[in-house]
């Protein structure tokens, strides 16, 4: 009966068992503004003021990190463990609705248990329960001992059994721990598990859901009895959770969604209130989803039982050892990426910490999925030291086909990105730098079309020498703008300036400001054609614009309030004004760039995202507007224009292959087609 209903068959049929699905459909700019900027900034501030809101407004309440290192099977390349991780993730999701995000640890660079503890301690910002599977026994004991004697802010479970019923006991333990938001030591977890195992699983799948709920209930009771629950949920008794899980088995995930507040009307509230309501309704913006739909949990139990008996996962691991190229064919790795921050430069809010930055990572994950068909795991790390941060990124990188660095502060972001690129050889980009730079270049390309100016004759001033400012400077210089002056909080940057310089500003000074202009922004803007602001609200005045060349282009990109408001800029003589806001014309929105850039880089398995790929992306964005439609109020396309990510992906793929950084050659039209289908259908094109 179950000859063809096996885990092995599912992997081969669906390219892995799981995917990441946004809980909200981004269909218009209004929804985009709630899921991402500007609405998400308010969610960050709410969590910064009250860290307990992390459980209410993000995925933390129902998500775990699921780790493996291949040590149990002594695998030289631990990425062969992906089938095991996906199988457990799917198991947890199907039977207990736990969102388990898989991570492969690179044990080849992890020297001892202290490195494991470093990774666990950093992942626990978002994932308050972390599960390690198939860890070598002695190493597992060392890890548990280290965790027992540490102050790590999460529960750590090691699940080493290949017995289905034992794995379900572990799942019940994890579910109870998650729901009571408990941070338990390994010794406390053993007490809870001992209580759970009083329920006999030997007769499963008979009375499956009733039995699973009973085991979960005993785990809850043990936590409740010992008062190990989180203070924010102490008033919730076990029966409420038990009823909710029972409802889940009947009604599905809708059980866990909160109702809209009584009388809440979107049109009568602002972005901040609506964003808060939306995030509270869904407890975060993304979830794990099975790529298949079993007819019943009993059927799925039998599929797992049969597959474990026949060692399907062992066969899949051997298949990957024999032919590593199959990794992207039979698992979800091809489409699985990470977004990583340490919370030091969250939006325009600054150093508010990794936990408060979680909503931004989730919002970005939604956009990657909606506009690039990419499954993105949000990772918020504590580490501030650049070298240690890169070490952690390298430790968790093997499962990911690409990594997007997000909201890292300057100047640390520059060596972090450079070292990570040099060590990982996968598509990796700090979007705050390069996404903004690519879209800014696209806007400049179309400005040149309208004004008929020569790019080599343009004079540019940039206000802000942080992550975005430096990247914009380098990209526009690399594309032909020779006369650039850049300012920071001290004033105009020039060679030999005695104050507020570092190695990165010294590098800029070598090719900018060749006339050694000194002074403030007021002096820098005189006689310029372009102003790019990545600084602070109100930095540019009407009087400054009046001193610029004829028909100047103002890119005022500070968020949430630009360097100058559009009406004021036009009144002062600006030919075109662009901002970072969705409620004005000409929004410089990174989502025009990063989904397609990563899609094209992933599909060609590029070793890096180079200058030529970024320039190709900028031209694809710029050329998406017909010359006949180009005007001062439409210098850039709408961020949700459906063809843009596919066009960008195609252009980036071509550039990757032409410059030799692509590991594989692929028909660019196929890249476009696959991107278009992924955006339209999710993971369906892989079937």
Strand partners, 157: 131
Helices (H), 380-430: 386-396, 413-424
Strands 286-290 and 18-22 turn out to be antiparallel
| CA nearest to 291, candidates 13, 636, 30, 586 | 13
CB atoms within 10 A of CB 117: 18
Q: Give the length of the chain.
A: 687
- Cβ pair 452, 576 in contact under 8 A: no
- Cβ pair 127, 101 in contact under 8 A: yes
CB atoms within 10 A of CB 198: 9
End-to-end CA distance of the chain: 23
Active site amino acids: 304, 364
C-alpha 115/C-alpha 124 separation (Å) is 14
User: Is residue 504 within a helix (H) or strand (E), and if so which, with residue range?
Assistant: helix 503-511
CB atoms within 10 A of CB 184: 22
**Angle at 432 (CA atoms; ends 427, 433), nearest 5 degrees:** 75
- Cβ pair 586, 443 in contact under 8 A: yes
DSSP state of 259: P
Strand partners, 218: none
| CA nearest to 399, candidates 74, 102, 73, 87 | 102
C-alpha 186/C-alpha 639 separation (Å) is 47
- Token readout for 609 is 């995202």
C-alpha 654/C-alpha 405 separation (Å) is 24
Q: How many CA atoms lie within 13 A of 548 on its CB side?
A: 31
Torsion angle, alpha carbons of 467, 471, 472, 476, to 10 = 170
C-alpha 217/C-alpha 225 separation (Å) is 12
409: alpha, beta or left? (left if phi > 0; alpha if psi -120 to 50): beta
Q: Is 311 helix (H, G, I), strand (E, B) or coil?
A: coil
Torsion angle, alpha carbons of 149, 154, 160, 164, to 10 = 150
């Amino acid at each position: 009966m179950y000859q063809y209903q096996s885990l092995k068959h599912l992997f081969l049929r669906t390219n892995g068992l799981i995917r990441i699905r946004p809980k909200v459909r981004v269909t218009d700019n209004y929804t985009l503004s709630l899921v991402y900027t500007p609405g998400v900034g308010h969610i960050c501030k709410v969590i910064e003021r009250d860290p307990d809101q992390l459980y209410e407004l993000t995925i933390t309440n129902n998500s775990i990190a699921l780790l493996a290192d291949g040590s149990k099977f002594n695998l030289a390349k631990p990425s062969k463990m992906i089938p095991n991780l996906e199988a457990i993730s799917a198991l947890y999701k199907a039977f207990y609705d736990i969102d388990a995000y898989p991570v492969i640890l690179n044990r080849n660079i992890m020297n001892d248990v202290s490195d494991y503890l470093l990774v666990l301690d950093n992942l626990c910002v978002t994932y308050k329960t972390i599960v390690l599977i198939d860890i070598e026994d002695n190493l597992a004991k060392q890890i548990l001992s280290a965790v027992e004697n540490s102050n790590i802010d999460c529960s750590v479970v090691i699940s080493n059994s290949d017995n289905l019923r034992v794995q379900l006991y572990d799942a019940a333990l994890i579910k109870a721990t998650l729901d009571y938001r408990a941070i338990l030591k390994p010794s406390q977890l053993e007490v809870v598990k001992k209580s759970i195992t009083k329920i006999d699983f030997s007769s499963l799948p008979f009375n499956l859901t009733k039995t699973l709920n009973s085991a979960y209930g005993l785990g809850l009771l043990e936590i409740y009895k010992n008062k190990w629950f989180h203070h924010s949920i102490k008033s919730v008794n076990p029966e409420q959770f038990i009823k909710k899980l029972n409802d889940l088995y009947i009604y599905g995930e809708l059980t866990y969604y909160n109702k809209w507040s009584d009388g809440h009307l979107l049109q009568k509230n602002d972005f901040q209130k609506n964003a808060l309501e939306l995030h509270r309704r869904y407890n975060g913006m993304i979830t794990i989803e099975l790529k298949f739909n079993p007819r019943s949990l009993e059927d799925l139990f039998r599929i797992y039982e049969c597959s474990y008996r026949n060692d399907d996962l062992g066969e899949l691991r051997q298949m990957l050892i024999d032919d590593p190229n199959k990794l992207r064919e039979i698992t979800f790795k091809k489409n699985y990426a990470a977004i990583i921050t340490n919370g030091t430069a969250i939006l325009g809010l600054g150093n508010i910490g990794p936990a408060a930055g979680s909503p931004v990572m989730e919002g970005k994950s939604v956009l990657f999925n909606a506009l690039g068909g990419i499954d993105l795991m949000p990772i918020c790390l504590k580490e501030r030291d650049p070298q240690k941060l890169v070490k952690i990124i390298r430790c968790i990188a093997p499962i990911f086909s690409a990594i997007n660095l997000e909201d890292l502060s300057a100047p640390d972001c520059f060596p972090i990105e450079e070292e990570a690129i040099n060590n990982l050889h996968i598509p990796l980009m700090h979007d705050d730098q390069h996404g903004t730079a690519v879209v800014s270049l696209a806007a400049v390309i179309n400005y040149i079309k309208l004004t008929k100016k020569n790019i080599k004759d343009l004079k540019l001033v940039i206000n802000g020498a942080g992550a975005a400012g430096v990247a914009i400077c380098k990209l526009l210089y690399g594309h032909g703008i020779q006369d650039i002056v850049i300012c920071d909080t001290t004033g105009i940057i020039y060679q030999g300036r005695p104050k507020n310089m570092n190695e990165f500003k010294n590098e800029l000074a070598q090719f900018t400001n060749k006339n050694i202009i000194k002074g403030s922004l007021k002096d820098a803007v005189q006689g310029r054609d372009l102003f790019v602001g990545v600084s602070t609200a109100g930095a540019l005045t009407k009087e400054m614009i009046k001193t610029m060349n004829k028909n100047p282009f103002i890119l005022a990109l500070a968020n949430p309030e630009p360097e100058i408001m559009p009406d004021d800029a036009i009144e002062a003589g600006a030919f075109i004004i662009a901002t970072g806001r969705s409620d004005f014309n000409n929004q410089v929105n990174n989502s025009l760039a990063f989904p397609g850039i990563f899609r094209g880089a992933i599909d060609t398995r590029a070793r890096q995202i180079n200058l030529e790929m970024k320039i190709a992306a900028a031209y694809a964005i710029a050329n998406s507007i017909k010359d006949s439609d180009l005007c001062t109020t439409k210098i850039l396309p709408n961020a949700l224009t459906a063809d843009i990510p596919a066009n960008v992906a195609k252009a980036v793929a071509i550039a990757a292959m032409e410059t030799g950084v692509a590991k594989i050659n692929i028909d660019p039209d196929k890249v476009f087609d696959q991107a278009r289908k992924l955006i339209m259908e999710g993971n369906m094109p892989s079937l």
